[in-house]
């Protein structure tokens, strides 16, 4: 798999790709929270941060998926959840990890995830996964994430499991 890295400076150029992959991933999901319009808000929010990083995976001439996120402000955490007292140091928030359906279950998600985190200099990485998706939560647990709580950051959002992982190179 070919991996491509993007930063804040590349955000406008990669925006359509991120939205198109999102549309493929959520093609059969009627929930308005997962609409392209709603997701574009989050793409803009995250990619406008100067420390935003993104990695895309490519195979057989097409996109496999992507992961992106950014460092949280000192002491920062997810909206709707208190930062655990045990979480010390700098934190990278993995905002999105998406793999198109044809590449699920192939290990590509972990490759993209690991490629994104290899250049992250933080003590902890955190993410949120929908609480109604125990398969995804179990996958993250197999990658050494642990659940620290649950959050519902907005009225229209699902309930999320908030997960964290200590980084060895942080």
Q: Where are the domains of the chain?
A: 2-166
Model pLDDT, residue 92? 97
Tokens of residue 71, six digits: 């460092």
Main-chain phi, psi angles of 41, to 5 degrees:
-60, -45
pTM, rounded to two decimals: 0.94
The residue with tokens 């930062």 is 83
Instruction: Quickly count: other Cβ atoms within 10 Å of residue 27's Cβ.
Output: 10
Q: What is the pLDDT of residues 104-140, one digit of tens each?
A: 999 999 999 999 999 999 999 999 999 999 999 999 9
Of 161, 147, 68, whose CA–CA distance to 112 is shortest?
A: 68
Main-chain phi, psi angles of 37, to 5 degrees:
-60, -45
Main-chain phi, psi angles of 103, to 5 degrees:
-105, 5
Q: Is the dihedral of CA 78, 79, 84, 88 positive or negative?
A: positive
Q: Are 60 and 111 within 8 A, CB to CB?
A: no
CB-count exposure of residue 33 (10 Å: 0-12, 13-18, 19+): middle
Q: Are 68 and 18 within 8 A, CB to CB?
A: yes
Model pLDDT, residue 168? 75
* DSSP code for 156: T
Give pLDDT < 70 ranges for the chain. Answer: 169-170
**Interatomic CA distance for residues 46 and 48, integer angstroms:** 5
Give the architecture-level CATH label for domain 2-166.
3-Layer(aba) Sandwich (3.40)
Model pLDDT, residue 169? 56
């Amino acid at each position: 798999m070919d991996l491509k890295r993007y930063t804040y400076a590349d955000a406008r150029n990669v925006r359509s790709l991120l939205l198109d992959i999102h549309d493929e991933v959520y093609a059969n999901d009627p929930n308005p929270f997962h609409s392209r319009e709603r997701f574009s808000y989050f793409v803009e929010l995250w990619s406008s941060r100067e420390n935003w990083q993104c990695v895309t995976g490519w195979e057989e001439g097409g996109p496999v998926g992507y992961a992106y996120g950014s460092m949280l402000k000192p002491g920062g955490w997810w909206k709707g959840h208190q930062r655990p007292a045990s979480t010390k140091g700098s934190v990278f928030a993995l905002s999105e990890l998406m793999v198109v359906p044809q590449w699920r279950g192939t290990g590509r998600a972990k490759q993209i995830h690991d490629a994104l985190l290899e250049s992250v200099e933080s003590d902890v990485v955190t993410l949120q996964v929908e609480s109604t998706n125990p398969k995804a939560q179990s996958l993250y647990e197999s990658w050494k994430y642990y659940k620290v709580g649950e959050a519902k950051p907005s009225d229209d959002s699902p309930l999320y499991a908030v997960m964290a992982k200590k980084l060895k190179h942080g």
